[in-house]
Amino acid sequence: MYKNNSKSTFSIAFTLVELLVVISIIGLLAGLAVPAINGGLKSAKAGACLSNLHQIGVATMAYAADNSFKLPDADGEGGTWPVKLATFISTGTQSKKSIFVCPGCTKPVQEGSATTVAVTYGVHNGLMPKGGTASNISSVARPEEVILAGDVCQDPGNKGWSPYCIEQPAVFTSQSGGRGGAAAMETSISAATDADTGNNQWLRYRHSGKVNVVMVDGHAEAIAKGSVKNKHVIFGQ
């Protein structure tokens, strides 16, 4: 007896088409989800970085309170500034996951030794200079808008660490730039070097085109590239 299999054949073919459609939809959803997940991870890392810098600001205030309101020197007696501040922070200071390392770093960071602390943030060289004497916190005219520390370019040739101080552009060191009055204070500073390619003492805009910083008053914020101005650097007026 002849048996018509057309219905069965059609059902199998339809099932395969459905499977292909489902696979395509899953692939499309995955393609949409991955950027969203990556974006969420970047936002989380940026938030964790701001938290790190806030803790650094609090530790700096505590250090200053114990030292006649003098900020810690960047290096010298007592070690580098991360070592000096580590005693004011209740966290494991020898881990590369410590608060002195930005979670959004693009280069691997090696852990510090028994007497050092891994760091990817830098301090304002005019306030806390290398090989010099740090300023008194009371000398800062606008603590709520002057940068104390922030994201700095990593040096792959030095364990992925950043320079201890922000020295570039030169206004961070000389404090002479932009002293022409209120208008000059609104002038944006250069962001010419924004890459982890060497010993670059520049701010690093690693969070979706923004740099995370902590101000002298202890609050942390993100500033877009091109929006860091003389008023964020000059502290004597």
Q: What is the mean pLDDT of residues 11-26?
A: 71
Residue 1 falls inside a structural domain: no
Whether 178 and 185 have beta carbons less than 8 Å apart is answered as yes
pLDDT at 51: 95
Q: What is the mean pLDDT of residues 131-148?
A: 92
Residue 65 falls inside a structural domain: yes
Taking the model in full, what pTM does it have? 0.81
- What's the number of domains the chain is made of? 1
Integer Cα distance of 32 and 121 in angstroms:
34
Check whether 178 has a pLDDT greater than 50: no
* Residue 159: domain span: 6-232
Residue 43 falls inside a structural domain: yes
pLDDT at 42: 80
| Share above pLDDT 90 across residues of the chain, in percent, rounded to a whole number | 62
Residue 107 falls inside a structural domain: yes
For residue 202, give the DSSP letter: S
Q: Tell me if residue 5 falls in helix, strand or coil.
A: coil
pLDDT digits (tens, 9 = 90+) for 103-138: 999 999 998 887 888 999 999 999 999 988 999 999
Check whether 228 has a pLDDT greater than 80: yes
Residue 22 falls inside a structural domain: yes
Conformation bin of residue 160: beta by default, left when phi > 0, alpha when psi is -120 to 50: left
Residue 76 falls inside a structural domain: yes
Backbone angles phi, psi at 54, to 5 degrees: -60, -45
Check whether 165 has a pLDDT greater than 90: yes
Residue 237 falls inside a structural domain: no
pLDDT digits (tens, 9 = 90+) for 78-104: 889 999 998 888 754 444 458 999 999
- The radius of gyration of the chain's CA atoms, rounded to the nearest angstrom, is 25
Local confidence band at 177 (pLDDT 50, 70, 90 cut-offs): very low
pLDDT digits (tens, 9 = 90+) for 46-73: 999 999 999 999 999 999 999 999 999 9
Integer Cα distance of 173 and 99 in angstroms:
25
